[in-house]
């Protein structure tokens, strides 16, 4: 890990007891720990055993932060709609967990392009942009055309009918005509936040020194 | 037909001889005739028999215009890239054939959003907009957000890899979050031009009177 | 918006509290407001706060109509079967909300073609036709062949097996051999009703004057 | 085989020499033989060796008819467009080869429903109907709604874009709301003609006696 | 209908009240009525209003048989496994409802080919065979190779993983190398039973006379 | 490798010069070498440089056999049709190259099940069976039901329409209800032959000793 | 069966009563019996009737072992993650039921390649390896490159978004560049365990003698 | 652009004349220019007009380098096989064009994992890694597990059968369990090289200063 003390656990298909064990062992090793895809009932069980545990219900993330983490540089996390916010929060919290400052810019989808243009200067300040969008997923392309730094696009499963659970947005992003964009799996806010943090740390110079 | 004297022939899988026969019979009935998907060798054969035949090679359209057609109102035909122009020309020529004035606005794709914004006022003057785009196909959504009148989106088969012969653009357009847009088949410039002309004629009032 | 005072909210993934806030702000701005994809429990919550709120349970639409809207022209909304009616109602109510008169012609699917033919004259009176069909989705093609004005086809997710949640009907509609038809997303009654209203207003001339 | 002396060879991936051998051995066994998917160069080679060989180039079928076959009953073979005729001819010739009388009713697609209705009485006389259509493929449904006897639907690969090589028509046919229809593979005129002949012979009573 | 007094209602998306109304009106018209895809709670409601109503829970079929129907000829309904039986029963009861005698031959899948071969003579007695199979769906091909009369193949959604809800079996059946088979939609026992009955009546001669 | 001196080269996307280099280096290392997917022009070039090179044009395989290989045990390679033979030959030659005896049993597809049953005893003698089939691909299931030893199924791209380049056969094989079968990629005769040889050598005991 | 006394029942779509009957009849015939895909409530019912019944809840397997089975040779069952363990247990228990010794090596996915490399020597001791993985499914390829004996790859439905219920892992495995691997259906631990046992018995020589 | 003087042209669907014009105008503006997807005949035409033009035939790239570009930092471009090299070269040359130093590490696919492990130290020196792979596409996951810096994965269309023109590799990459990877379109070496260069420049600090 970039900053030496962050571990992640993918909790989707683990029992609360299994997660408890993993948290304990990482804690003993001196790491902060973050869990993704945590259901409320898993949290309830874990909170009794780890009173300092923090839960972000929208992003379904838990964090055990035994060690303070300084947040440096800047990552912008943007969404097309409000339904994309849970995935965006997964990305934003992941980047913060690993030591990035994050600017959240939500609900700037391309069907109302002027809301996005009004925020362009702010977005350009980030070392890396995460663009989260479902349905037609066009935010990534427009964004990559507006900023100079890398854009990581996250398709979401928001939509119905021919959105096919995020496939429409995924294809849009993969086929972008704009330069400087790459894509992660549908709803994978974690993956986007992780890579945005890597890039942000390379940019602020922390990366090189610790490697 | 709206204006009483236009017929179309889909020439893709017809022999030159078959097309010749159809042109003759429509001509006798007093109609203008337009053929789509016409290959150069088909044109060469037909030109010898119909010296007044006009060929638009990029759009692969032939026209037999025995009767002058007045072009009224305004349809805007826009493309994301230069590779989308053949499909756009099919749409534009179809709308013109049936009596619409057409404004061509090409190469205004969303990866360079400012080129599109610079033409917004012009596009808003049209009674109907045709938005032609391949690859990520985001032009339709952005356009429908910018104009008040109906947008007909045409996905094109331009692209490679996960564009899947136009499927990516098609899905983007079907999933648009913007209001006032409907979609036709991949590469179906004819269908878009035809419907844009219908709407344009309804708007200029010719429709009601002739029906 | 065409008539200056209609706004819409897509309620699928919003909390009742979020919708409440949005309704309030649009109401203050002097707009009528329509919400789509509203679940009964969302309505129950909102009805207590907005006693004048109207709910159309089949179409899952709510309306706050502070300002009377005159309904002009004519839009025909047709379905192949009875299972397609919820989507058709979404289209019809949307068109009415924005000021169109609507003629509902349900259960005229192509497997019993004479029921459809019996209504042809009536359908031809509309400035725009919305054709709603699931399963094989052939209503759009037959309709577009019967009427002169534009047809907006809405595939529905009605069916089983190889209907693939509406994909079969969607493909049928995109591939239509008939002239004058465009398609919206599966189950997107709203989108079809919105565009039908645009076309209808262009035809009655309101469009041009207000633009 | 129903009438005791008909064999078929699928020639797509066989060399002319291989087909020659198969024709010889079936001929010796006293059978008529039909070959499908025969390319012109295969025919040229075979014609020199079997002077009595007949070639139907549009259907790509060869026939060696050493034994006269009486054609009984009636099968109707219908197409939506002219591009569907090669597949329809494969069906018609197959049914004729096995002893069915065939009525060809071409170019009666649903976008111009009145052409189809004008032929309804004629079609109803058949013991079995083969409905051949590409693109939206709606002919099958409308047909099955019009006639009482079984309909065998054949999707064709005619079309472009979202027709996906016949998949659109195939899905339309599988999802039909009409009673009394079943479907064969894309472009499989042979399979439809074969089964139509089976049904026709069951109806004329020849079947029971010979079995 | 073949025998003059049978009507069917597809109950999947109808309320019990709606079905009640339809049953009443068909009953008044002097028809027997069959309902498919009937849920137990729908049946409970209807049974109170129509005491003579019969329910086949496995096939999810209800029948109101005011008029006795003679069952003639023979249709064989076969399944590959026991999980395919509900779909097979839908087919068998449909054929019986319309006046066919039915021979049920279940659990003769191709992975144990000798069980199928042991029943071949029996199956060959039928005028039409319905072959119901999920997963690999190979029963249809083997069956069509064994019998002379037409085979109607019904893919079922039985299976997991790459069976894709019946798509695997559907494709197997569409691609059969055997002659004399056509396919209906996934799980469409009704459609297969209906067409098998049509063919059976053509064979016993009742068809022609009553038409 | 099992027998210590066999190497393989996948030649599809290599130049003749590149293959030449690879053959030389393996030859120097004392290995026999086999090349797959070799085009005739590649062979012509290579034959001039390696006069002892053997070419199997149907299987598109070249072999440089500097060291004699004893063929032991038995692998059965079966096909459904004649069009599947090139893929079957790729499997058979691969197994022979690595030291297996091979029994070729071609054209025993399930549409004529008795041809397959007639060979059952012979097939059961093999330690491993390779079942090669396109279109409906049902051979694997029937085979695995008939024999006790493992079956490796190879779908082929033979077919048209809904065979989708081998996908239909692939799905059939993956969904088999029969025990003791696994599947390789479409047209991957090499992979099947390689694994059949592994199993055959384990069975004859050579495997354990040499490992 | 290899060892003369093992039978299996696929319980997914059978009632507890049906399973009870099948268990009884196999027991009477003197066979051990194993049931797969058994739900807890099915087990509860059966346990009352067969007190000696053993249930493996994670693998959803029941066993009636009236006859002791000696476990010989070695099969390695490996997983990429912890979520793949239920499928792996289905494979391992199946192989054990039929008389194979099994080595379980879990959580050795390729994203942390050194955990896998640390176990290579152990894995190489097996006569056959089962590689179970979801999401990207790369374990199979890496494994087949590391070991000399056959690898049976099992894709699992673990994952989200573009994992498409196991399709991603399935395609990865089918397209492997490594020699000596074949694939079974998504989540088909049973099929892999069965075939691994076949191969293992061929290797230890028991196979030949008993056949 | 990062370094102020690089422009790119996508030449796939442009005429040589069109490209000529674009090169001229960028040259006049003082930019270096790079063209991608350039066919040999396009190059021949252009070379006569721009004698200083450089062509990289494998990568299908042309370059007009009027201004020297310093190459800084380090990007590693890796491939699984030799068939992936053209796409890798497109990535490498793009990164070099924009001012990155590039380390090419080809043919290190996961089926022979030790070749990849032998190069790990070298790869870790790069600020960003491009991982190019077709068929099973597992290189990306293994790579991302081995290095700390971001990995950009490029699926290629190399393969056959169920590789579906690169879809298999694409899905593998999107579903990776490894942290720190994002994916671009199939065969999109340009996009990967562009983004790798962005990241590399952020890391060497040039980015911040020029922004
Ligand atoms: N939401 C997520 N989506 C995809 N991968 C994740 C997610 N959360 C964590 N991961 C990855 O999963 C790994 C942990 O997996 P596990 O050992 O199963 O908990 C982490 O190191 C991450 O690489
Ligand atoms: N390029 C096109 N794409 C789709 N449909 C077309 C096209 N050109 C013409 N058509 C339609 O095809 C009809 C003529 O078909 P046909 O009778 O086969 O020539 C016209 O009336 C149009 O509805
Ligand atoms: N056009 C066709 N499409 C599908 N199946 C066919 C076709 N023509 C012939 N067949 C079938 O292929 C069998 C002959 O196959 P073969 O032995 O390979 O020549 C015939 O008995 C028919 O079942
Ligand atoms: N299970 C079924 N699957 C497909 N179509 C059916 C089924 N049951 C009935 N139908 C068809 O649906 C028609 C009745 O539809 P409805 O008027 O909506 O009740 C019948 O005439 C049949 O054509
Ligand atoms: Mg940019
Ligand atoms: Mg608009
Ligand atoms: Mg019309
Ligand atoms: Mg009918
Ligand atoms: Mg038969
Ligand atoms: Mg077996
Ligand atoms: Mg190996
Ligand atoms: Mg890493």
Q: Which residues contact A37 (CB under 8 A, 6 or more apart)?
A: A10, A11, A12, A60
Closest residue to D162, CB basis, from B13, B14, B185 = B185
Lay out the sheet containing H6-10: strands in order across: H6-10, H32-36, H61-64, H54-56
What does pTM read for this prediction? 0.94
Mean pLDDT of H134-143: 94
The token duo for C126 is 């509309």
The angle subtended at Cα B86 by Cα B84 and Cα B89, nearest 5°, is 110
Give the per-residue pLDDT at G13. Answer: 86
CB G103 within 8 A of CB G74: yes
pLDDT higher than threshold 50 for residue F41: yes
Among candidates B83, B158, B161 on the partner chain, residue whose Cβ is nearest the Cβ of H166: B161
Residue where the block lists tokens 């693998």: G59
Q: Which of D6, D88, D190, D193 has the most ligand 3 atoms within 8 A of CB, as the residue to mutate? A: D190
Give the residue-averaged pLDDT of H93-97. Answer: 98
Q: Are E148 and E178 a contacting pair, CB within 8 Å?
A: no
Lowest mean pLDDT among B155-169, F1-15, F53-67, H29-43: F1-15
Which residues line the pocket of ligand 2, CB cutoff 6 A?
A: B 8-10, 36-37, 188, 190-191; C 177, 179; D 81-82
Q: How far apart are CA A85 and CA A58, in angstroms?
A: 8
pLDDT at G5: 65
Q: What is the pLDDT of residues B75-124, one digit of tens each?
A: 999 999 999 999 999 999 999 999 999 999 999 999 999 999 999 999 99
Residue B104's alpha-carbon distances to A177, B78, D190, F53, in angstroms, are: 21, 6, 48, 62
- Rounded to whole angstroms, how far apart are CA atoms A80 and A82? 7
Calpha distance B203→D70 (Å, rounded) = 62
Q: What would the mean pLDDT of H132-150 be, rounded to a whole number?
A: 95
Lowest mean pLDDT among D182-191, G4-13, G99-108: G4-13
Residues 6+ apart with CB under 8 A from F187: F87, F154, F155, F156, F157, F166, H160, H161
Of C159, C163, C172, the CB nearest to D168: C172
Nearest chain G residue to A167 by CA: give it: G162
* Tokens, residue F105: 């049993």
**Is residue F3 scored above 50 in pLDDT?**
no
Which residues contact residue G154 at a Cβ distance below 8 angstroms, ignoring those fewer than 6 apart? G87, G88, G91, G130, G131, G132, G133, G183, G184, G187, G188, G189, G191, G192
Q: Beta strand G61-64 with G54-56: parallel, antiparallel or unpaired?
A: antiparallel
pLDDT at position F207 over 90: no
Q: Pick from G79, G85, G111 the residue to mutate for probing ligand 1's pocket: most ligand atoms within 8 Å of its CB.
A: G111
- Please say if the pLDDT value at position D3 is more than 60: no
Helix ranges (H only) for H50-188 are 85-97, 113-117, 120-124, 139-146, 167-174
Q: What is the pLDDT averaged over residues F113-120? A: 95
- The pLDDT score that the predictor gives to residue D207 is 43
Q: Which atom of ligand 4 is nearest to the CA of E37?
A: 1
With a cut of 70, say whether residue F5 has pLDDT above it. Answer: no
B neighbours by CB contacts (3+ pairs under 8 Å): A, C, D, H
How far is it, in rounded angstroms, from Cα E128 to Cα E77?
A: 9
Query: What pLDDT is stored for residue C155 in this prediction?
Result: 98
Rounded to an integer, what distance in angstroms lies between the CA atom of residue D62 and that of residue D1?
Answer: 18
The per-residue DSSP string of C81-147 comes to SSTTHHHHHHHHHHHHHTTEEEEEE----GGGHHHHHTTHHHHHTSSEEEEEE-TT-THHHHHHHH-
- G173-184 pLDDT, tens digit per residue, is 999 999 999 999
How far is F63 from F11, CA to CA, in rounded Å? 12
Kindly report, residue by residue over D173-186, the tens digit of the pLDDT: 999 989 999 999 99
Q: Which atom of ligand 3 is nearest to the CA of D7?
A: 21
Name which of F94, F80, F119, F74 is nearest F6 in CA terms: F94
Tokens representing residue H187 in the block: 């065969």
Q: Across the G/H interface, how many CB contacts are shorter than 8 Å?
A: 117
Beta-carbon contacts of F201 under 8 Å, excluding residues fewer than 6 positions away, are F2, F3, F72, F73, F98, F99, F100, F207
Shortest alpha-carbon distance between residue E82 and chain D (Å): 24
Average per-residue pLDDT in chain E? 93
- Cβ count within 10 A of residue A114: 10
Nearest-CA distance G166 → chain H (Å): 10
Residues of G with CB under 8 A from a CB of H: 80-81, 109-113, 117, 135-138, 141-142, 144-146, 159, 161-164, 167-169, 171-179
Interface contact A136-B172, CB threshold 8 A: yes
Q: Which residues of chain C carry a pLDDT beneath 70?
A: 1-5, 206-211
- Of the candidates G175, G176, G2, G134, the one whose C-alpha atom is nearest the C-alpha of residue G75 is G2
Mean pLDDT, rounded, for F107-113? 93
User: pLDDT class for A2, splitting at 50, 70, 90?
Assistant: very low
Residue F209 has pLDDT above 50, yes or no: no
The residue assigned the tokens 């319309």 is E98
Q: Which strands sit side by side in the sheet containing B54-56, from one edge to the other? A: B6-10, B32-36, B61-64, B54-56
The residues, any chain, with a CB within 8 Å of residue B90's CB and separated by 6 or more, are: B36, B59, B60, B61, B189, B190, B193
Give residue E13's pLDDT band: very low, low, confident or very high (50, 70, 90): confident
Q: By the 8 A CB rule, do D140 and C109 touch?
A: no
Least Cα separation, residue F159 to chain D (angstroms): 9
* Residue E123, CB-side half-sphere exposure with 13 Å CA sphere: 26
How confident is the model over A101-129, as a mean pLDDT? Answer: 96
Q: Residues with Cβ < 8 Å from D70, sequence gap 6 or more? A: D99
Cβ–Cβ below 8 Å for G160 and A18: no
- Rounded CA-CA distance D182/E153 in Å is 9
Which one has a higher pLDDT value, B202 or A13?
Answer: B202
What tokens appear for F44 in the block? 């012509």
SS3 content of chain D, % helix, strand, coil (to 5): 45, 20, 35
Which residue numbers of F have CB closer than 8 Å to G's CBs? Answer: 2, 8, 127, 148-150, 152, 170, 174-175, 179-186, 191-192, 194-195, 198-199, 202-203, 205, 207-208, 211
Q: Distance from first CA to last CA of chain A, Å, rounded?
A: 9
User: Chain D residues with CB-CB distance to B under 8 A?
Assistant: 82-83, 158, 160-163
User: Model confidence over E112-158: pLDDT tens digits?
Assistant: 999 999 999 999 999 999 999 999 999 999 999 999 999 999 999 99
CA B189 to ligand 2: nearest atom: 1
Q: Which of B190, B195, B197, B198 to mutate to test the pocket of ligand 2 (most atoms within 8 A of CB)?
A: B190
Number of A to G CB contacts under 8 A, please give it: 27
Question: Residue G185: its chain E contacts at CB < 8 A?
Answer: 160-163
Minimum CA distance residue for ligand 3 atom 18: D10
Give dist(CA F146, CA F140) in Å, integer: 10
User: Is there contact between B and H if contact means ≥3 C-beta pairs under 8 Å?
Assistant: yes
Distances (CA, A) of B148 to C150, C203, D90: 18, 15, 51
Please enumerate in sequence order all residues whose Cβ is within 8 A of that of A211, keeping only pairs 6 or more positions apart, or say none: H124, H148, H149
pLDDT digits (tens, 9 = 90+) for G185-206: 999 999 999 999 999 999 998 4
The pLDDT > 70 percentage for chain B reads 95
Closest CA to F199 of B152, D131, F191: F191
Nearest ligand to the C-alpha of residue C84?
4
Residue nearest to atom 17 of ligand 3 (CA): D9
What pLDDT, on the 0 to 100 scale, is given for residue A13? 86
Cα distance between residue D89 and residue D56, in whole Å: 9
Taking each helix axis from N to C terminus, what angle separates D189-204 and D85-97, rounded to the nearest 10 degrees?
40
**Cβ-contact G85, G58 below 8 angstroms:** yes
Distances (CA, A) of F28 to F31, F64, F66: 7, 12, 10
As given in the structure block, the two tokens for residue G119 are 């176990």
Q: For E154, phi and psi rounded to 5 degrees?
A: -120, 110
- Strand positions, DSSP E, chain G: 6-10, 32-36, 54-56, 61-64, 72-79, 100-105, 128-133, 151-155, 181-183
Q: CB–CB of A141 and B111 under 8 A? A: yes
Helix axes F167-174, F139-146, angle to 10 degrees: 30
A127 lines ligand 1 (CB under 6 A): no
Specify the DSSP class assigned to residue A60: T
Query: Testing the interface with E: which of C88, C111, C161, C167 to mutate, by most E Cβ within 10 A?
Result: C161
Q: How does pLDDT run across A27-61, given as a tens digit for each residue? A: 999 999 999 999 999 999 999 999 999 999 999 99
CB contact under 8 A, E14 and C82: yes
Q: In whole angstroms, what is the distance from residue A105 CA to residue B116 CA?
A: 23
Closest ligand to C-alpha of residue A22 is 1
CA B140 vs CA A184, B173, C1, H50: distances in Å: 24, 6, 18, 38
Beta strands in chain A (DSSP E): 6-10, 32-36, 54-56, 61-64, 72-79, 100-105, 128-133, 151-155, 181-183
Transcribe D9-76 into DSSP letters.
EE-TT--HHHHHHHHHHHHHTT-EEEEES--HHHHHHHHHH-TT-EEETTTTEEEE-SS----EEEEE
Mean pLDDT for the stretch of residues D133-145: 95
Q: How many CB atoms lie within 10 A of CB H67?
A: 12
Between CA C22 and CA C9 the distance in angstroms is: 8
Name the strands in the sheet holding G54-56, side by side, starting at the edge strand that comes first in the sequence: G6-10, G32-36, G61-64, G54-56
How much is the mean pLDDT over chain D? 93
pLDDT number for residue H13: 86
- Verify H-A touch: 3 or more CB pairs within 8 A: yes
Above 70 in pLDDT, residue B211? no
CA distances for C60 relative to A9, C11, C54, H211, angstroms: 40, 10, 11, 50
* E118 exposure class (CB count in 10 Å sphere: 0-12, 13-18, 19+): exposed
Residue whose structure tokens are 């700037």? A108
Residue C50, helix vs strand vs coil = coil
Mutate to test the interface with C, among D177, D180, D182, D183 (most CBs of C within 10 A): D177
């Amino acid at each position: 890990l970039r900053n030496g003390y962050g571990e992640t656990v993918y909790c989707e298909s683990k029992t609360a007891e299994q997660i408890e064990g993993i948290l304990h062992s990482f804690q003993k090793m001196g790491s902060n720990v973050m869990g993704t895809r945590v259901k409320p009932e898993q949290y309830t069980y874990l909170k009794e055993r780890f009173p300092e545990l923090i839960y972000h219900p929208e992003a379904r993330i838990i964090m055990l932060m035994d060690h303070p983490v300084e947040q440096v540089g800047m990552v912008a996390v943007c969404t097309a709609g409000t339904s994309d916010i849970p995935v965006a929060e997964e990305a934003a919290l992941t980047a913060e967990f690993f030591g990035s400052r994050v600017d959240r810019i939500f609900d700037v989808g391309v069907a109302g392009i002027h809301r996005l243009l009004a925020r362009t200067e702010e977005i350009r300040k980030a070392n890396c942009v995460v663009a989260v969008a479902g349905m037609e997923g066009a935010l990534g392309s427009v964004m990559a055309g507006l900023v100079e730094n890398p854009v990581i696009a996250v398709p979401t499963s928001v939509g119905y009918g021919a959105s096919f659970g995020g496939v429409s947005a995924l294809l849009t992003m993969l086929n972008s005509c704009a330069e400087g964009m790459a894509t992660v799996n549908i709803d994978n806010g974690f993956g986007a936040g992780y890579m945005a943090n890597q890039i942000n740390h390379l940019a602020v110079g922390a990366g090189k020194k610790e490697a």
